[in-house]
Amino acid sequence: MMLKDRFKTARKRRGLSQQEVADGIGVAQNAIAKIESGETKQPRKIEDIAAFLGVTSQWLLFGNGPNHLSTSTELSADNIVTVDSGQFVSVPVYESHLAAGTGAYTDNDVVITYKPVLKETLDRFHIPHNAATIATVSGDSMESTLQDKDVILINSSASIPTSGKIYAFEFDGDLRVKRFNKRLDGSWLITSDNPDKNIYRDEVLSSHNIDQLRIIGQVVTIVERNLL
């Protein structure tokens, strides 16, 4: 593959149009079209382009090394990429889907790629840059708030639940996303936003099983929604 082929592969893998890439790095759409057609062989903003697409510049230019950002890279100030249109943070995207239903089992959390998110978005939701994560919803128990295959932004620093908020969590091997409501007796009511309570019944988290619960973080917003 040539640069133009690797660029197109990375762009489509992220589900981005040429215009979206152009807007993301602050260039004209025509500049992106020239890269993808092969007319431009050494883009001036190769580092910004690679970071926005979640790949390494070495792979994009020469096909060397992995075709995604290293999963072992610790998210830090070094992961903030400055481009003309603002600052982006490379946020890890996890392979595991969060079940908005009965739960989806996972053995471990695996980062499959990184997605650029505007620094101002993280700041608006008060998310520390090294605490932002992204995952995908599976199931319809949280409709209409969250739909199946929604890609959501999670604040992993919010590990203590606040009543009324939505959290991603692991309980007894299941990864799930639900709304937490605190009861007068100190226990938590774990609820689905889907009004069909015959299928999606409320659950109570009492003190004797609290140790089995691992809060992954608070769900703060939807990053992508599949409209098809």
Residue range 179-206, pLDDT digits in tens = 999 988 888 999 999 999 899 999 998 8
Domain boundaries, the chain: 1-68, 74-228
Bigger pLDDT: 166 or 185?
A: 166
pLDDT surpasses 70 at 71 = no
Return the CATH number of 74-228, one of 3.40.470.10, 1.20.120.530, 3.40.50.1820, 2.10.109.10: 2.10.109.10
- 1-68 and 74-228 share one CATH topology? no
Query: Which stretch of DSSP H or E encloses residue 95?
Result: strand 86-99
Q: Which residues contact 82 (CB under 8 A, 6 or more apart)?
A: none
Domain at 1-68: CATH code: 1.10.260.40
| Residues pairing with 152 in the sheet | 135, 222
| Helix residue ranges per DSSP H, 26-117 | 29-37, 46-53, 57-62
Alpha-carbon distance of 97 to 139, in angstroms, equals 9
Q: What is the mean pLDDT of residues 86-96?
A: 78
